[in-house]
Amino acid sequence: MDIHKSIDKLAKIDREVMLYENISALLGWDQETNMPPGAVEGRAEQQSLIQGVLHDKMTDPIIGELLGAAGASEEQPGGDSSLSDQDQGLVRQYFREFNRQTKLPRRLVQDFAAATSNAQPAWAAARKAESFAQFQPHLERITALTREMSEKLGYSDHPYDPLLDHYEPGMTTAEVSRVFSQLKKDSISLLEKISHADQPDDSFLYQPYDSRLQDEFGRKVLTSMGFDFNRGILTESAHPFTTSLGKDDIRITTRYNEPSMSSSLFSTIHEGGHALYEMGAASPELKGTCLGTGTSLAVHESQSRFWENIVGRSSEFWEFYYPALKKLFPEQLKAVSRQHFVQGINKVSPSMIRVNADEVTYSLHVILRFELETALVSGELEVKDLPEAWNVKMKEMLGIVPGNDAEGVLQDVHWSAGLIGYFPTYALGNLFSAQFFDTMKHEIPQYDVHVAKGELEVLHEWLDQRIHRYGAIFTAAEILHRVTGKSLDPGHFSRYLEEKYSAIYHLD
């Protein structure tokens, strides 16, 4: 078959596959935001059917034939070198996914979809009841299916490898362990220094803030960042998330029921960062294709963490936005200066909840989950022992112990959704964001001035041109090297934290 005809046929299959993916995403969105509690069983059947259809399409032998005609192989997953970057990206994505899907029986894919659909409401109920025992049977089922998937997919080093590779292609357990070892050491060292310094007062954050006004301010910031409300919406859910339901349908959620106003605000900014990546990746030539999305979860997380922390928690950002916030909440902030506010939102203190954690301790929450997941998948740790193992590691890394399962082992939705292998990408995203940021500052010499003037479109344009517009055409490693000229270096993030928090806490 002619190589270009094979690409055309593969692209046609891709368009149909993406429509089914969008349908599945819409079902998931509805389940997290609007679905009545009694619809769980029916939704599990729907998702199981969709995933079964997708599995059939992705394992159709014709895809293998088309990939062969395109020149794809283990040595050259992107196919023939004569193909364009976009066509090589398409071939690489399908070569990888075809190899993965053909190793998984349809029965296993459907069982996993049904198990996770049933587990999510069970997790929500267990968290509300502060009872891991209620959720344990569901997680045992998911863990058993996950271990089976790992065996079917195959690995040469660690059973966690094929699970991690699903979310961060090319990354291995050994490499994450190496990077996290240094990150863990640096984070604990900085945390120890900060523990001896005077803590800023952040009590002003913990008082009533009208959720409608919080929403108004969040939308103002999203608009300045470049979020297109003609192509996206913001609503509420129990756990903030971002999802793409089609070519021009990017949806994000936040929540306003936290004890601190800043938690909701930074969740909104965080998810906005994800949305900007999806909107930028859905350029005209990539819309509706598997390439019209972020290239990896770590790169995706780098975008959200960049906007949330590097920009959103900076003094320059609040030089422009603090007057507007103070106007909305004059009583709550009447005695709070901008400097006091910035110190408060950057307070470092070990806490139970990952999504509320400060920049210094956040990665430790992720490393904790990575260590538990690798042990769980390998069989070194059983589900029933998770609560105790969780509490032990919290004590070791952060010096605190959860008072109940809801603020401990049950706090995240990821395990109920079957996303084992996902957590490391959060901390990897921190590393990517800092490395991108160092290059951005060099290429935008007046970066601080632009942010202080509220000119966030300058940052958005840089990200669009250097990262977003390529979607998934290039791998995460390729994007990082194209932008920074280097491979992943955790030193960028450690230096960023050290410089920022040494200034805030007046460290020697």
Written in H, E and C, the secondary structure of 479-491 is HHHHHHCCCCCCH
Structure tokens at 319: 């030089």
**458 to 302, 443, 447: CA distances (angstroms):** 18, 11, 8
Q: How far apart are CA 376 and CA 160, in angstroms?
A: 9
**492 to 176, 180, 288: CA distances (angstroms):** 16, 14, 35
pLDDT at 261: 85
Structure tokens at 335: 């005695």
Structure tokens at 391: 């509490």
Buried b or exposed e, range 210-232, using 16+ CB within 10 angstroms:
eeeebbebbeebbebbbbeeebb
How many Cα atoms are found within 13 Å in the side-chain-facing hemisphere of 282? Answer: 19
In terms of Cβ atoms closer than 10 Å to its own Cβ (0-12, 13-18, 19+), residue 86 is middle
Structure tokens at 13: 């299959």
How many Cα atoms are found within 13 Å in the side-chain-facing hemisphere of 123? Answer: 25
DSSP reduced 3-state for 261: helix
Task: Please report how the helices 132-153 and 386-398 are oriented relative to each other, as an axis angle in degrees rounded to 10.
Answer: 90
**Cβ distance 63 to 98 under 8 Å?**
yes
Q: With a threshold of 0.85, does the pTM exceed it? A: yes
Q: For 207-215, which contacts have Cβ atoms below 8 Å and span 24 or more sequence positions? A: 207/332, 208/332, 209/261, 209/329, 209/332, 210/329, 211/256, 211/264, 213/328, 213/329, 214/256, 214/261, 214/264, 214/265, 215/256
As annotated, the active-site residues are: 271
How many Cα atoms are found within 13 Å in the side-chain-facing hemisphere of 179? Answer: 26
pLDDT at 61: 95
The maximal CA–CA distance of the chain, rounded, in angstroms, is: 73
Q: How far apart are CA 369 and CA 383, in angstroms?
A: 13
Residue ranges and CATH numbers for the domains of the chain are: 3-154 (no CATH), 173-505 (1.10.1370.30)
Structure tokens at 76: 């050259």
Tens-digit pLDDT profile for the chain (508 aa)?
789 999 999 999 999 999 999 999 999 999 989 899 899 889 989 998 998 899 899 999 999 999 999 999 999 999 999 999 999 999 999 999 999 989 999 899 999 999 998 999 999 999 999 999 999 999 999 999 999 999 999 999 999 999 999 999 989 999 999 999 999 999 999 999 999 999 999 999 999 999 999 999 999 999 999 999 999 999 998 778 999 998 899 999 998 876 678 889 999 999 999 999 999 997 888 999 999 999 999 999 999 999 999 999 999 999 999 999 999 999 999 999 999 999 999 999 999 999 889 999 999 999 999 999 999 999 999 999 999 999 999 999 999 999 999 999 999 999 999 999 999 999 999 999 999 999 999 999 999 999 999 999 999 999 999 999 999 999 999 999 999 999 999 999 999 999 999 999 999 7
